[in-house]
Amino acid sequence: MPLLIPSLGLPEILLLVVLVVVLFGAKRLPLIGAGLGKGIRNFKESITGKDEKVDEGQSKDPS
């Protein structure tokens, strides 16, 4: 069975990095990374059932 997706070596990874920088620009990369990180964190929290907002609300005493 032939591989449909070839393995990525160092030259291919460097080419992808250069393409991403050219397409999005160096100024937007941190914003994209932060948004991606928040999305992954929210996805993990929804999968595990943990929600910080619910935990904080339950831990506070209403008195």
Encode pLDDT of 5-30 as tens digits.
678 888 888 999 899 889 888 888 89
Q: Are 45 and 51 in contact (CB under 8 A)?
A: yes
Average pLDDT over the chain, rounded to whole? 79
Type of residue at 47: I
- Tallying the residues shown for the chain, one arrives at 63
- How confident is the model at residue 26, as a pLDDT? 85
Checking if the pLDDT of 60 tops 60, the result is no
Give residue 32's identity as a one-letter amino acid code: I
The pLDDT value recorded for residue 15 is 92
Distance in angstroms (rounded) separating the CA atoms of residues 32 and 48:
24
Give the per-residue pLDDT at 4: 66
Closest among 31, 60, 37 to 52, alpha carbons compared: 60
User: What is the distance between the alpha carbons of residues 63 and 59, in angstroms, rounded to a whole number?
Assistant: 12
> Is-above-0.85 flag for pTM?
no
